[in-house]
Amino acid sequence: MPIMEKLQAFWNAAGTDGYVLLVCILFFIYYLIRTLYKTVVICSPYKEENAGRQEGVSVIITSSNREWELKKNLEYFLTQDYPQYEVIVVDECSEDDTQDVLAELQLKYPRLRTSRLFPGTKFRNTKKIALHIGILAAQYDILLFSEIDCRPDTKHWIRDMQARFDENTAVVLGYANYAPSHGMNMWRFFRFLRFLKMILFVKRGCFVLGDGRNMGYRKKNYLKEKGFSKNTHSYIGYDNEMVKALSKGGNVRISKKDSTFVTINNGNKKTWKGDYTYYHENKRKWPISALLKSDLDRCVRFLFYLMGIYLVCKKVLFPYTMIGIALVFVVEIVATHIDIRNLKQKRLFFPAVAAGFAGFLYRWYFTIYAIFTRKKWR
């Protein structure tokens, strides 16, 4: 029997299951093409636009009742191998010994400058006010931002972050993740995926995602866009909304160089839960186009698995359907492993495999959890 007649006979016998199979095949092809595209984008090299010229840099960090983290992490910012920079720490209404710790460090490091919001400030959230004070105090145009629970992985963080700036660069986004440790690798993997999403967003010209633990922009663009003036009182948006606003003034670039990576030196449960819910509360503000770019591939993969399992249960091309399901899973793991190696990450392969099996359960749980905790970010 000719092939076309066999296909016609199969189609007639399959009934409505034939349409499910057809959609499943289309999803399969779409997924393979998108995975290849994403891997190429994520692993593509770049040149440093400003490597030959060193501009002055102001590093701005806020701290609220975190004296022990000041002692543990601030020196990593103060001992960078770069000739012209300052570190500005804004004390955000601390009532512990933060001022004593900063005074002691200033005696040792002249680059350290400090400012303070006094306790009793009549605002529920003071993060943006503290950042604004630090930005106004900065003497250099390039501003780098991090948090006091972080530390640069190398002494070249400032040098190589500023090397991503040229005159047409408005924002530079870097990578920050938790330190490898037992029990944290799944959350490290999810933060790794967020950075991959940031790379793809920038490639597509979608500027809705930033990371206040490792990013930079120019002071002149901040002042031109009037900073946080549209939303001073809420905590949320001090990083993501600035990426969107400042992208109007120039290019947004990513730094994938491992010398610019930052480690979050705080892996307690409260930190990563807050991190995840903050991300989801920000996501609620994204336009529909950004949400589609963010979740379409995941939805396609989920629907493919769902339809594939349905076809397996109905015994429609049973061996081929099983091979297709296995192939999608293997392609996902291989592509993720390539991304992990390209960004020189450690101990993320097995979390990637685990997330391939049950990652959607984690995402749904924390998506729902974020709904009930959103008030803390307002």
End-to-end CA distance of the chain: 68
Say yes or no: 323 and 241 in one domain: no
* Per-residue pLDDT reduced to its tens digit, 122-181: 566 788 889 999 999 999 999 999 999 999 999 999 999 999 999 899 999 999 999 887
13 vs 327: which has the higher pLDDT: 327
> Does residue 52 sit within a domain?
no
Same domain, 244 and 302: no
- CA 81/CA 267 separation, integer angstroms: 27
Average pLDDT over residues 185-211: 93
User: Do 33 and 100 belong to one domain?
Assistant: no
Q: What is the pLDDT of residue 234?
A: 75
175 shares a domain with 71: yes
DSSP state of 64: S
Residue 10 is assigned to a structural domain of this protein: yes
- 28 plus 171 within the same structural domain: no
CA 271 to chain centre: 15
| Cα distance between residue 135 and residue 221, in whole Å | 11
Do 198 and 166 fall into the same domain?
yes
For the segment 84-101, the average pLDDT, to the nearest whole number, is 93
User: Is residue 95 domain-resident?
Assistant: yes
Please give the tally of structural domains in the chain.
2
Task: Show Cβ contacts of residue 51 under 8 Å, excluding neighbours closer than 6 positions.
Answer: 163
Residue 353 placed within a domain: no
CA atoms within 13 A on the CB side of 112: 23
In whole angstroms, what is the distance from residue 361 CA to residue 186 CA?
A: 13
Contact status, residue 269 vs residue 186, Cβ threshold 8 Å = no
**268 and 298 assigned to the same domain:** no
Would you state the pLDDT for residue 39? 95
Query: In the chain, pLDDT over 70 holds for what percent of residues?
Result: 92
3-class DSSP state for residue 16? helix
Mean pLDDT score, 357-363: 71
Bridge partners (DSSP) of residue 262 are 152, 176
Q: Is the pLDDT of residue 375 over 70?
A: no
143 domain-assigned: yes
Q: For 310-349, what is each residue's pLDDT tens digit?
A: 989 988 778 888 999 999 999 999 999 999 999 999 888 8
Alpha helices by DSSP H, listed for 168-317, are 185-203, 219-224, 240-246, 269-283, 288-314
Q: Domain of 79?
A: 57-279
Do residues 299 and 272 both lie within one domain?
Answer: no
Q: Which of 260, 279, 298 is the last residue of a domain?
A: 279
Distance, in Å, from the CA atom of 132 to the CA atom of 205, rounded to the nearest integer, reads 27
Is residue 205 located within the same domain as residue 229?
yes
How much is the pTM?
0.91
Tell me how far apart the alpha carbons of residues 272 and 149 are, in angstroms, rounded to a whole number. 12
Same domain, 95 and 216: yes
What is the pLDDT at residue 322? 92
Q: Note whether 233 and 125 are within 8 A (CB).
A: yes
- Return the residue matching tokens 């500023």: 162
Per the domain annotation, does 49 fall within a domain? no
- 158 and 296 together in one domain: no
Please, what is the Cα angle at 35 between 252 and 239, to 5 degrees? 30
Q: Is residue 188 part of a domain?
A: yes
* Each residue's pLDDT tens digit, 36-52: 999 999 999 877 666 66
Do residues 27 and 118 both lie within one domain?
Answer: no
Beta bridge partners of 217: 143, 171
- The H or E element containing residue 102 is helix 98-108
Q: What is the CATH number of the domain that holds 171?
A: 3.90.550.10
Q: How far is CA 156 from CA 83, 135, 184, 217, 330, in A?
A: 11, 22, 26, 18, 37
Bigger pLDDT: 271 vs 62: 62
Cβ pair 291, 283 in contact under 8 A: yes
